[in-house]
Amino acid sequence: MDRVEEMLGEVRRTFKGGRTRGVEWRKAQLQALLNLLAENEDKIIEALRQDLGKHPVEAYRDEVGVVKKSATNAFRCVEKWMAPQKGRIPLVFFPARGAVVSEPLGVVLIFASWNFPISLALDPVIGAISAGNTVVLKPSDLAPKCSSFLANTIPLYLDPEAIKVVEGGKDISEQLLQLKWDKIFFTGSPQVARLIMSAAAKHLTPVTLELGGKCPTILDTLSNSSDLQVAVKRIVGGKWGPCNGQACIGIDYVLVETQFAPVLIELLKKFIKRFYGENLKTLENLARIVNKHHFERVHNLLKDPNVAATIVYGGSVDEENMVIEPTILLNPPLDAEIMTEEIFGPLLPIITLNTIEESIQFINSRPKPLAIYAFTKNDSLKEKILQETSSGSLTFNDAIIQFVADTLPFGGVGQSGFGRYHGKFSFDTFSHEKAVLHRSFLIELEPRYPPWNDFKMDFVKLAYDFDYVGLVLLLLGLRGLFRRNRRQ
């Protein structure tokens, strides 16, 4: 505990010293982070292979490339983000001017997740640095090689008095949560998020929670064969591509009309074999399950006899290497754990409906998901999904790609989390938007004549209703009133 408190004291003193507030420091740290990625790409890819068995292409796409893009964008835009934003002031306060000034929150604690142990650690750090904060990063101990890489490498590139990495398991996390922070950013499960919120409440610490949930995919009956093949390829990529289904924004299940299910299943089989291999022994391009605990958790979902009876493809497991074959299930029981809990693995349930419009009611009967994916060319159905469902994000005719769009906020709603980040939204998440108003000493009106009180009330009412164009007319009217009163 003494070591943790000492570390917090150092980064707090650094923040109070003020050097993190300047644009020079922020850009220097962002450039250093880009240098770290460029000079250690091979080490990162190897660490991801050892922790999760990620293919080099997947490792670069989902970890190195994502962070590089985010840091480059922040480096180019941070001065613009820091600039005060002009605020329009009500006429009644004329002459005055207002602005919204973004100031850093202070010392930020970031908990990273194991499924994307590099990008989900460094992407929030980019936002915190851009906003001028000091940072304590806690990588996941379930990805030990990546955690060790971050702990040993970050001090060589970033300001070691402002950005710290602390390794450890549950005991270290508990020690960190006993201390007072200016912001806590957590990526992980709802169960742990409840503990985070409980600890943060003791110090009234603001939190951002990036959680997950059962992200549904709606597949409409696409009549064009080419469109259908593209849709199914994107579903296969969105389910098994990111960490073999171990992704909070990965596809959890598919909703489709009953008559369309056989076509979907055959196309899923076709593209699974093309992308990942024919059977358990020849699988490639797939990450493995992170550890024995999670392997058993996912495997247990299939051990339910009522669930196992619905398997239409796959289902094989390799316990020694912690590999589960991509598996398709048709209409597993809706009250089974596979349909009530986030799967976070390579199992894909297909739920059939009489009409695709029923998908809206199905989704709304469950907790709000982090993402909804809908494949359709029907504009009316798109509008109904948009207006009648709630989710962290909504993507039409693709999956996952919204995560890498810096111009769109990423975050959940309800049980899938709250708060947002990416691009400017990361900067805002780690900033306090302070209202600043400058008032002049000019035009201080004093009541000198009996009629003034009634007129003053009329003036105030008009001032709230008029824009600045009407100011001239009001001032001219006041001048005329004063002149008449003096003549009298």
CB of 436 within 8 A of CB of 101? yes
Encode pLDDT of 392-447 as tens digits: 999 999 999 999 999 999 999 999 999 999 999 999 999 999 999 998 888 766 65
CA-based Rg of the chain, rounded to a whole angstrom? 28
Rounded CA separation 174/103 (Å): 29
The pLDDT value given to residue 244: 94
Rounded CA separation 472/480 (Å): 12
pLDDT exceeds cutoff 70 at 455:
no
The pLDDT value given to residue 282: 81
pLDDT exceeds cutoff 70 at 125:
yes
- If you average pLDDT over residues 268-278, what whole number do you get? 94
The pLDDT value given to residue 447: 57
Q: 366: which residues sit within 8 A by CB, 6+ positions away? A: 214
The pLDDT value given to residue 34: 98
Rounded CA separation 47/350 (Å): 34
The pLDDT value given to residue 279: 82
Encode pLDDT of 50-85 as tens digits: 999 999 999 999 999 999 999 999 999 999 999 999
Closest by CA position to 15, among listed 122, 124, 127, 131? 131
Question: Using omega within 30 degrees of 0 as the cis cutoff, is the peptide bond preceding 95 cis?
Answer: yes
pLDDT exceeds cutoff 90 at 177:
yes
The pLDDT value given to residue 480: 58
CA atoms within 13 Å, Cβ hemisphere of 415: 11
pLDDT exceeds cutoff 70 at 477:
no
Encode pLDDT of 211-243 as tens digits: 988 999 999 989 899 999 999 999 999 999 999
CB of 219 within 8 A of CB of 260? yes
Rounded CA separation 239/398 (Å): 11
Statement: the pTM of the whole predicted model exceeds 0.95? no
pLDDT exceeds cutoff 60 at 296:
yes
pLDDT exceeds cutoff 90 at 193:
yes
Rounded CA separation 4/10 (Å): 10
Rounded CA separation 268/91 (Å): 62
Encode pLDDT of 366-393 as tens digits: 999 999 999 999 999 999 999 999 999 9
The pLDDT value given to residue 3: 84
Encode pLDDT of 336-346 as tens digits: 999 999 999 99
> First vs last Cα of the chain: how many Å apart?
80
Rounded CA separation 246/168 (Å): 22
| The total number of residues written for the chain in this structure | 488
Positions marked active-site: 210, 248
The pLDDT value given to residue 94: 81
pLDDT exceeds cutoff 60 at 484:
no
**% the chain with pLDDT above 90:** 83
CB of 221 within 8 A of CB of 232? no
The pLDDT value given to residue 427: 97
Phi-psi region of 163 (alpha: psi -120 to 50; beta: other; left: phi over 0): beta
**% the chain with pLDDT above 70:** 90
- If you average pLDDT over residues 113-138, what whole number do you get? 97
Rounded CA separation 450/27 (Å): 61
Encode pLDDT of 128-160 as tens digits: 999 999 999 999 999 999 999 999 999 999 999
SS (H, E, C) the chain: CHHHHHHHHHHHHHHHHCHHHCHHHHHHHHHHHHHHHHHCHHHHHHHHHHHHCCCHHHHHHHHHHHHHHHHHHHHHHHHHHHCCEEECCCHHHCCEEEEEEEEECCEEEEECCCCCCCHHHHHHHHHHHHCCCEEEEECCCCCHHHHHHHHHHHHHHCCCCCEEECCCCHHHHHHHHCCCCCEEEEECCHHHHHHHHHHHHHCCCCEEEECCCCCEEEECCCCCHHHHHHHHHHHHHHHHCCHHHCCCCCCCEEEEEHHHHHHHHHHHHHHHHHHHCCCHHHCCCCCCCCCHHHHHHHHHHHHCHHHHCCEEECCCEECCCCEECCEEEECCCCCCHHHHCCCCCCEEEEEEECCCCHHHHHHHCCCCCCEEEEECCCHHHHHHHHHHCCCCEEEECCCCHHHHCCCCCECCCHHHEECCECCHHHHHHCEEEEEEEEECCCCCCCCCCCHHHHHHHHHHHHHHHCCHHHHHHHHHHHHHHHHHHHHC
Window from 167-176, 355-364, 393-402, 453-462 with minimum mean pLDDT: 453-462
CB of 215 within 8 A of CB of 369? yes
